[in-house]
């Protein structure tokens, strides 16, 4: 008498990629395994993924682009600015260490950073602690979406920019109520801009990291600029959450705050 052998067990599901290492192209869903698109970016998996998802230069290389890879770090509590700065330093100075420094210097109480000037001061201290030399740090006022800044990004500059974050963390306009920090680590100029990089607001994307996602983000520089210019006031909800926040004189919308300002790094 013969018997039918039992069916083999189903195959084990694939092991997801480690959150501590950058994903490979093969880690993405089949939807994004078509490497015929964005061939120019296949050497940088996360750059390739975000450009594929965002329909950026699917079938031909951009006119110009620059991308610097930084490892993602997830924030705990209201530490988005400290985490963005720690990412810029590749974790050589941790967010916890930056929080200790910011408390001692009076920049922050819980991890919040509502002053560009104080962020630049903290960055200089952190660069010294990490023994990084020959790096210039500037607080820039206005003109985020400008010829000057686009050229700086193409030449390798990196930015820390505060903006209002929407539900998906992209830039929005909420008067500063959802203020969040991003590390701008790249730029994509889609088409030949002709005589002006800023003639077409949809032609220039920035590549960004922030503390609420381990994945790279891509937004138009124009949208980020508008959001940065809209940081007028501290969130009313946070005023009632029982925590004490360090706010600049005059609030986040004034000269010592966040509105229409950002921090630029050259020499990284």
Instruction: State the virtual CA torsion across 237, 234, 127, 146 in degrees, nearest 10.
Output: 130
Terminal Cα distance for the chain, rounded: 76
* Tokens describing residue 73: 């770090």
Q: In which residue are the tokens 């998906």 written?
A: 168
Rounded to an integer, what distance in angstroms lies between the CA atom of residue 228 and that of residue 164?
7
Q: Is position 80 annotated as part of the catalytic site?
A: yes
Number of Cβ within 10 Å of residue 134's Cβ equals 8
Which among 201, 220, 166 has a CA at the least distance from the CA of 56?
Answer: 220
* Tokens describing residue 58: 């699917």
Q: In which residue are the tokens 């500059």 written?
A: 157
Half-sphere exposure of 132 (CA within 13 A, CB side): 20
* Tokens describing residue 155: 């030449």
Rounded to an integer, what distance in angstroms lies between the CA atom of residue 41 and that of residue 56?
11
Active-site choice (80, 116, 185, 208): 80
Question: Parallel, antiparallel, or unpaired for β 171-172 and 64-67?
Answer: unpaired
Rounded to an integer, what distance in angstroms lies between the CA atom of residue 268 and that of residue 172?
29
Rounded to an integer, what distance in angstroms lies between the CA atom of residue 87 and that of residue 70?
6
Active site residues: 80
């Amino acid at each position: 008498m013969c018997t039918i052998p039992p069916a083999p067990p189903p195959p084990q599901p694939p092991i997801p990629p480690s959150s501590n290492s950058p994903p490979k192209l093969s880690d993405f869903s089949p939807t994004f395994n078509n490497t015929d698109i964005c061939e120019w970016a296949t050497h940088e998996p996360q750059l390739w993924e975000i450009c594929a998802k965002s329909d950026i230069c699917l079938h031909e290389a951009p006119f110009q682009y620059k991308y610097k890879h930084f490892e993602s770090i997830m924030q705990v509590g209201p530490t988005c600015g400290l985490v963005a700065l720690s990412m810029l330093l590749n974790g050589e100075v941790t967010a916890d260490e930056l929080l200790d420094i910011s408390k001692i210097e009076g920049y922050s109480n819980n991890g919040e950073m509502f002053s560009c000037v104080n962020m630049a001061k903290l960055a200089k201290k952190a660069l010294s602690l990490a023994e990084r030399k020959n790096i210039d740090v500037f607080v820039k006022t206005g003109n985020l979406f400008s010829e000057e800044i686009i050229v700086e990004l193409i030449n390798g500059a990196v930015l820390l920019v505060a903006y209002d974050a929407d539900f998906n963390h992209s830039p929005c306009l909420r008067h500063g109520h959802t203020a969040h920090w991003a590390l701008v680590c790249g730029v994509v100029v889609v088409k030949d801009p002709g005589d002006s990089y800023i003639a077409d607001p949809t032609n220039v994307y920035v590549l960004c990291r922030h503390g609420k996602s381990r994945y790279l983000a891509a937004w138009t520089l124009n949208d980020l600029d508008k959001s940065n210019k809209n940081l007028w006031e501290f969130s009313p909800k946070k005023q009632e959450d029982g925590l004490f926040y360090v706010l600049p004189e005059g609030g986040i919308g004034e000269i010592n705050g966040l509105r229409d300002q950002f921090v630029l790094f050259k020499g990284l």
